């Protein structure tokens, strides 16, 4: 089993992809963030919220799903 990660907005400029799969992790949402920051160190300086199975959750939430999305704030208009 794999964990599907989706990236939005300016985060795709760091990851160079809009989605990818990583090994399935157990634990909390913040464990996924830690894994991704290790893979993409530049993510550490970015603000984003996590949606798990399309529900926005806190970093303390338990990992339950197979799909995680990283949502940065947009300011343009």
* Chosen residue from 14, 22, 25, 71 binding another protein by CB under 8 A: 71
Closest CA to 52 of 4, 10, 2: 4
Decide: is 46 part of the binding site for another protein (CB under 8 A). Answer: yes
Report, in Å, the least distance between residue 16 CB and another protein.
14
Residues 11 to 30 in contact with another protein, rule: CB under 8 A: 18
Question: Taking the mean position of all CA atoms in its chain, how far away is CA 71?
Answer: 8
* 8 Å CB contact between 32 and 63: yes
Which residues in this chain contact another protein in the complex, by CB under 8 A? Answer: 6, 8-10, 18, 45-47, 49, 51, 54-57, 69, 71-77
């Amino acid at each position: 089993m794999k964990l599907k990660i989706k990236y939005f907005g300016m985060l795709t400029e760091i990851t160079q992809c809009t989605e990818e799969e990583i090994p399935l992790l157990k634990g909390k949402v913040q464990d996924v963030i830690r894994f991704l920051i290790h893979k993409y160190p530049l993510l550490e300086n970015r603000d984003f919220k996590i949606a798990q199975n399309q529900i926005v959750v806190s970093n303390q939430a338990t990992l339950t799903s197979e799909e995680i999305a990283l949502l940065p704030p947009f300011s343009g208009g």
